[in-house]
Structure 1
Amino acid sequence: MNRVALITGASVGIGYELALLFARDKHDLILVARREDKLKELAEKLIKQYGIQVFTIASDLSRPSSPSEIYAEVKKQGIFVEYLINNAGFGTNGEFHQIDIRKELSLIQVNISSLIELSHLFLQDMIAQNKGAILNVASTAAFQPGPYMANYYASKAYVLHFTEAIAEELKKYNISISALCPGPTKTEFFDAAGMQALKLPLMSAEVVALKGYKALKGNSVISIPGLINKLGVLSVRFSPRFLVRKIAGLLNKSK
C-alpha cells in the first residue's frame, strides 16, 4: 500500500477537498462520514481518477463508540494510518439555554471527544512506527468567545489548545500535529447550524484545504488561511474583551 490518510467528515466541504489533495499525491485513503452514499461516490471517483486504494467507513461520530469502532476496523484490515485528519465537526446557533441540550452534547462528542479518542488511538501506532502526522480542523473561532455559538467557539478553542500542547509533547517522536483555523468557509456549515451565511467574503473549501495540507506536510502547528482571517485573529488579541464579545454576538445572532 501507499502511505495512508484517514479523513473524518470526508464526504463534503474541507474534508472532501483534503481527500482530493491526498489522492493527487498518491496516498491511499480511509474516508469516514455519516453518509455512506456520498462516501462511496467520492471513493469511486478517486479510485478511477488516481488509481489509489480507498476504504470507506460510514460512522456517526456523535456516537461515543464510533472512534473505537473505526480504529478496530482499521486494525482488522492491517493498515497503518500515517496521517490522521480530524475534520468532522458542526456548530449550533442560538441562545445556549434555548438549544436542545442533546444537540449541544453531541457537538462536544463530535468536535472534542471523538477527536481526542481518535488521536489517542492512532498515536499509539504512529509512536511505534516513529512517524506520522495529525491535522485537527479548528477555526478562527478558537481565538475568541462567540455569543449565540458559545459551545462551538469553546469547542474550537479546546481543539486549538490541545493541538498546541500535544505538538510540544510529540517532537521527540518525529510526529507532527497541526491545527487548521479557517474563518467563514463555503461549506454546509451554516445550513447545518441553522444560520444564514455571513454577509462577508467566504473562502472556498478548496483553498482552505490546500492551506491545511501544506501545514500538515510542513509541520506548521497553527495555520490560519487568508490575510483577512489572520488580521482578524490579530485584532482580537489587541481589542478589549467586551468589544470582541459584542462584535461576535452581532455577527452570530440569528436573523
Structure 2
Amino acid sequence: MKNSTASWRSLFWPWWSPASPQDVMVARRAVAHLRPAVVITGGGSGIGLALARRFLQAGHDTVLVGRNAAKLEAAARYLKPEKGAAVTTVVCDVNEPEALQTINAHLAKAGLYLDVLVNNAGMGLSGPFLNQSQQDIARLISINIAALTRLMHAVLPDMLARQRGGVLNVASLGADVPGPNQAAYYASKSFVVSLTEAVASEYSGQGVRISALLPGPVDTAFHEEMGADGALYRLALPSMTADSVARSAYRNFMFGTRVIVPGISNIFFYVALRILPHTITVPLVYWLLRRPEA
C-alpha cells in the first residue's frame, strides 16, 4: 500500500521528490567552510546596484558581476560592507559559456559559494524592429535569454541538493504584452517570466525560491541607453526609483512570491494587461513606445 501511494504521488505530483535528508546534509557540508553569497549580474548600476544595497543591508555577502571593472569598483566603494556582510566584484561577461566557472572561481577565492543568483544583466532596443541590426538583436537574445537560461540551469542543481538558495530573474512589466517599437526586448522578457514561472512550479516545495521581478519604468539610465528616453511612456507612466523597486523585490523574494510587481500603479497595469485583449493593449503600447523620430 505504501509503495502504491508513492507511485500515485510520483505520477500526479512529480515535484514531491526532494532529496533525502542524508543527501541534503552531504550537500550542505560540502560548502560548510564557505559563506553563502548573493551574486548579481549587471550589478554595477541601476536596479542591480539597488538590489545589492538591499541584500547587503540585510546582512548577505554580495557579489557584483559585470564587464566594466571601473564601474564595478565604483559601485563597491559606494555600497561599502554592512552588518558584517562584504561586497565583492567579478569582472565577467555573462554571455561567455564559461561565465559561471569564472564566477565560482572568484567566489571560492573569497571564501564564498553561490547561494542566490540575481539575473539582472540585460539590454534593450528601441525603435521599429527592422531598424535594429541583426547583431544587436542577436546580442539582446544572448544576454536577456540565453545567458539567463544557461546560468539558471547551471546553478539550480546545487541549490536543490542543499534545499536552500534561490534565483531572482529581472524581467519587465512589458512581459505581459507585445511591445511594438521595443518588440525584441518585450519578447525576451516574456520568455523570462514564462521560464521562471514554469521552473518555479516544477521545483516548488524544495526549499529554493524562484521568482521573476516585473518592474515598470524605473528612473535609471537604461531607457536612455536603449534610445527610448524620448518615447511617450517616459512622460505618461509613473516611474519608480531603483531603491523602491529593490525594497519590494527583496521583501517579496524572501517571502517566496513567484511573480513580483513593485508599485501599486504597476500592479494595476499588470492586472489590466492580463485581462484586456491584445486588440486594445497592443495599439496602446505602440503609441506609448513610439519615439518621435521613429
Short-chain TM bin: over 0.9
Aligned to 2:62: 29
For the residues of structure 2 that align with 1:184 and 1:47, how far apart are their CA atoms? 27
1:116 aligns to 2:149 (yes or no): yes
Residue in structure 1 matching 2:207, options 174, 183, 190: 174
For the residues of structure 2 that align with 1:214 and 1:16, how far apart are their CA atoms? 16
Aligned to 2:43: 10
Shift, 1:134, TM fit:
0.9
Residue in structure 1 matching 2:220, options 187, 192, 201: 187
Relative to structure 2, which stretch is displaced further, 83-92 or 72-81? 72-81
Give identity over the alignment, percent.
Answer: 36
What SS is found at the alignment partner of 2:63? strand
What SS is found at the alignment partner of 2:112? coil
What SS is found at the alignment partner of 2:174? helix
Relative to structure 2, which stretch is displaced further, 172-181 or 141-150? 172-181
Aligned CA distance change for structure 1 residues 193 and 125 (closer, same or farther; 3 Å): same
Shift, 1:34, TM fit:
2.0
For the residues of structure 2 that align with 1:110 and 1:68, how far apart are their CA atoms? 17
For the residues of structure 1 that align with 2:208 and 2:198, how far apart are their CA atoms? 13
TM-score by length of 1: 0.93
Residue in structure 2 matching 1:143, options 168, 172, 176: 176
Shift, 1:112, TM fit:
0.9
What SS is found at the alignment partner of 1:85? strand
Contact 1:2 1:26 in 2 (8 A): no
Residue in structure 1 matching 2:273, options 216, 224, 236: 236
Aligned to 1:81: 114
What SS is found at the alignment partner of 1:3? strand
Aligned CA distance change for structure 1 residues 244 and 205 (closer, same or farther; 3 Å): same
Instruction: Spell out, residue by residue over 1:20-46, the C-alpha distance to the aligned partner (whole angstroms, 9 max, x if none).
Output: 111111211111012211211222343
TM-score by length of 2: 0.81
Relative to structure 2, which stretch is displaced further, 52-61 or 99-108? 52-61
For the residues of structure 1 that align with 2:114 and 2:96, how far apart are their CA atoms? 22
Instruction: Spell out, residue by residue over 1:156-192, the C-alpha distance to the aligned partner (whole angstroms, 9 max, x if none).
Output: 1100010101111122421110111010111111111
Contact 1:86 1:115 in 2 (8 A): yes
Aligned to 1:163: 196
1:132 aligns to 2:196 (yes or no): no
Relative to structure 2, which stretch is displaced further, 196-205 or 82-91? 196-205
For the residues of structure 2 that align with 1:237 and 1:173, how far apart are their CA atoms? 29
Contact 2:179 2:285 in 1 (8 A): yes
Larger Rg, first or second structure (1 or 2): 2
Shift, 1:251, TM fit:
0.8
Aligned to 2:291: 254
Instruction: Spell out, residue by residue over 1:79-107, the C-alpha distance to the aligned partner (whole angstroms, 9 max, x if none).
Output: 32111111111210111112111111111
Name stretches of at least 5 consecutive residues in structure 2 with no aligned partner.
Answer: 1-33
Name stretches of at least 5 consecutive residues in structure 1 with no aligned partner.
Answer: none
For the residues of structure 1 that align with 2:270 and 2:199, how far apart are their CA atoms? 22
Instruction: Spell out, residue by residue over 1:125-171, the C-alpha distance to the aligned partner (whole angstroms, 9 max, x if none).
Output: 21221211111111111111000111110111100010101111122
Instruction: Spell out, residue by residue over 1:37-56, the C-alpha distance to the aligned partner (whole angstroms, 9 max, x if none).
Output: 12112223434555433221
| Equivalent residue letter for 1:153 | Y
Aligned CA distance change for structure 1 residues 170 and 76 (closer, same or farther; 3 Å): farther
Aligned to 1:219: 256
For the residues of structure 1 that align with 2:251 and 2:225, how far apart are their CA atoms? 28
Aligned to 2:6: none
For the residues of structure 1 that align with 2:153 and 2:243, how far apart are their CA atoms? 28
Contact 1:31 1:55 in 2 (8 A): yes
Relative to structure 2, which stretch is displaced further, 45-54 or 219-228? 45-54
| Equivalent residue letter for 1:14 | I
RMSD: 1.9
Aligned to 2:90: 57
| Equivalent residue letter for 1:88 | A
Aligned CA distance change for structure 1 residues 64 and 99 (closer, same or farther; 3 Å): farther
Aligned to 1:98: 131
Contact 1:137 1:179 in 2 (8 A): yes
Shift, 1:67, TM fit:
4.2
